[in-house]
Amino acid sequence: MSENNTIEIKNLKKNTLIDKFLNRIERLGNALPHPATLFLIFALAVIVISWIVANFDVSVIHPGTKAIVKPFNLISKEGLHKILTEMVVNFTSFAPLGTVLVAMLGIGIAESSGLFSTLIKLIVNSSPKKLITFVIVFAGVMSNMASEVGYVLLVPLGGIIFMGFGRHPIAGLAAAFAGVSGGYSANLLLGTIDPLLSGLSTEAAQIIDINYIVNPAANYYFMFVSTFFIAAAGTIVTEKIVEPRLGKYVDENNSTNTITKEEQNMKTLDKREIKGLIYSLVSLLFIVAIILLGTVPQYGFLRDPKTFELLHSPFMSGIVAIIFLSSAIAGIFYGIGAGTFKSDADVMKGMGKSIEALGGYIVLVFFAAQFVAFFKWTNLGLIFAIKGASVLQATGLGIVPLLILFIILSAFINLIMGSASAKWAIMAPVFIPMFMILGYSPELIQCAYRVGDSVTNVISPMMSYFALIVAFLSKYDKKAGIGTVIATMLPYSFVFFIIWTILFLIWFGLGLPLGPDSPLYIPIK
């Protein structure tokens, strides 16, 4: 966090063991270097470790080819040449980079037009009072496909909506935050996180099988169903635990449950927004019609041109392009209808703004790409995976305990390292090959990671929007600090972990596919 956003821990109401633990996690996280610097350190560490392991003459037998695998020493003439000549290619060919940039260009148009803002308000405000908590959590889960929109719009709007209904605004903030951040991986639609993680998983899986590809919709079925479980769990926690604990809201003037005219206006849609939505809906119906025409007929033009399959088709491999085109077209038509786009320059400005926001991400990717490439070149991932698989087999633990431990590990690491992609770039090259050797698919391990990575977002001071949430709460509670947020959100984290882990294990036990062309098991070679 920046110096201006640092909040003193003295605001904690109770000095419990959990509070002490989380305080230590925060101090540890604040002491870490920038994520990009971390990847630079990891890349340098891989270089040194490759030299050490090579000097110890470590080798393993590849489970697929049965060939002897030895480490490649990067502190050598050949290693130096490889680092220098392939540095640019490592960056430009890094799988997640292009997918995220392309998807964000389309989402930038929709966001800058005001489409996402209006959609969220429409979803929330058209719901019955009894369902408002569920709708806010549900809208929060859905908003994560649009990057930071949920944080900057829905979270404060949740407080306003709750206060408008005569309820505690902090409970509304918490409900929205739980959906946006705690339910980060769940959604009814594919978002930017899907191609991002699948790209990293593909890079890791190809350590074992050079032809293995994890498609962006790899976890779609599971995450689709998870959306309703997370929304229901968030509703129960809000109404049964969080809101009763907060009690009756009293503003600084001792007036209960007041709402300003400006805040009330934020809840309603004006004529321009309604007109924009109509324009956008017509354009989306046209896009859906084209997609259905290309996928539903047996010989549809979006199916595989040779086999006419849908799973291995231009439609599935073009998911990122579809996200870009759908978001861009819907955003443009909304902007025309609502009057937020006056010319093509406004559209281009929206695209440019979305890329500007990714400046830090692009820097991080440069170093992450070098780390991933170095790790693959040295064969360390394959060696560690084969050795690790042998250790796991020797422990006698079944796959269920191993999956639970992996979810817990992912959740714990999330407390000190906020970026989902940064963590997965480190973990995937080790754990995906390790579980692949045991016969479990990269799609399964990626799904387990997504569960663990999501549930502790709401209590992680390292989450990039955590300071913003503290600021939102302080509007209604001048004494609110990090402890206030953690104490409020801890029940969500605990319940989400239990519900989501049980759902994941039941799904696995029933042998259900996680997404299109996403098996749970792979053949052991």
Instruction: Give the confidence band of 499 by pLDDT, cuts at 50, 70, 90.
Output: very high
Give the three-class secondary structure for 518: strand
The burial class, CB within 10 Å (0-12 / 13-18 / 19+), for 495 is buried
Pick from 44-58, 200-214, 348-362, 490-504: least confident: 348-362
pLDDT reported for residue 45? 92
pLDDT reported for residue 4? 40
Q: What is the C-alpha separation between 218 and 447, in angstroms, rounded?
A: 8
Query: How does pLDDT run across 368-382, given as a tens digit for each residue?
Result: 889 888 988 988 877
Q: What is the C-alpha separation between 103 and 351, in angstroms, rounded?
A: 10
Q: Between 111 and 525, whose confidence is greater? A: 111
Query: How does pLDDT run across 306-327, given as a tens digit for each residue?
Result: 888 776 688 877 877 888 899 8
Instruction: Give the confidence band of 505 by pLDDT, cuts at 50, 70, 90.
Output: very high
**pLDDT at position 49 over 50:** yes
Count of beta carbons in the 10 Å neighbourhood of residue 225: 15
Q: Between 395 and 511, whose confidence is greater? A: 511
As a whole-number percent, the residues of the chain with pLDDT over 90 amount to 34
Instruction: Give the confidence band of 509 by pLDDT, cuts at 50, 70, 90.
Output: very high
Q: What radius of gyration do the chain's Cα atoms show?
A: 24
Q: How many C-alpha atoms does 339 have within 13 Å on its Cβ side?
A: 6
Q: What is the C-alpha separation between 72 and 298, in angstroms, rounded?
A: 49
Query: How does pLDDT run across 423-475, given as a tens digit for each residue?
Result: 788 788 888 988 998 899 999 999 999 999 999 988 886 676 776 787 788 88
* Mean pLDDT of all residues in 487-506: 94
Residue 440 has φ and ψ, to the nearest 5°, of -110, 140
Angle at 360 between CA 414 and CA 84, to 5 degrees: 100
pLDDT reported for residue 508? 96
Query: How does pLDDT run across 395-420, given as a tens digit for each residue?
Result: 778 889 999 989 998 888 887 666 67
**pLDDT at position 14 over 60:** no
Q: List Cα–Cα distances, 398 to 107, 202, 393, in angstroms.
A: 42, 25, 9
pLDDT reported for residue 173? 94
**pLDDT at position 107 over 90:** no
Beta bridge partners of residue 521, listed in sequence order: 440
**pLDDT at position 31 over 70:** no
Instruction: Give the confidence band of 5 by pLDDT, cuts at 50, 70, 90.
Output: very low
Burial 272-282 (b: 16+ CB within 10 A, else e): ebebbbebbee
Q: What is the C-alpha separation between 199 and 94, in angstroms, rounded?
A: 8
pLDDT reported for residue 479? 74
Residue 287 is encoded by which pair of tokens? 């896009």
Q: What is the C-alpha separation between 19 and 27, in angstroms, rounded?
A: 12
Q: What is the C-alpha separation between 337 and 358, in angstroms, rounded?
A: 28
Q: What is the C-alpha separation between 510 and 357, in angstroms, rounded?
A: 42
* Mean pLDDT of all residues in 269-273: 87
**pLDDT at position 65 over 70:** no
Closest CA to 414 of 464, 484, 483: 464
**pLDDT at position 263 over 60:** no
pLDDT reported for residue 258? 45
Q: What is the C-alpha separation between 176 and 237, in angstroms, rounded?
A: 12
pLDDT reported for residue 15? 52
Q: What is the C-alpha separation between 173 and 228, in angstroms, rounded?
A: 19
Q: What is the C-alpha separation between 164 and 248, in angstroms, rounded?
A: 14
Instruction: Give the confidence band of 146 by pLDDT, cuts at 50, 70, 90.
Output: low
On average, the pLDDT of the chain sits at 82
Query: How does pLDDT run across 207-254, given as a tens digit for each residue?
Result: 888 889 998 889 999 999 999 999 999 999 999 988 888 888 876 555
Contact 514, 447 (CB under 8 A): yes
* Mean pLDDT of all residues in 471-480: 79
As a whole number of angstroms, the longest Cα–Cα distance in the chain is 75
Q: List Cα–Cα distances, 93 to 79, 90, 200, in angstroms.
A: 19, 6, 12
Q: What is the C-alpha separation between 176 and 153, in angstroms, rounded?
A: 10
pLDDT reported for residue 259? 45
Q: Where are the alpha helices (DSSP H) in 178-219?
A: 193-205
pTM: 0.67
**pLDDT at position 63 over 80:** no
**pLDDT at position 22 over 90:** no
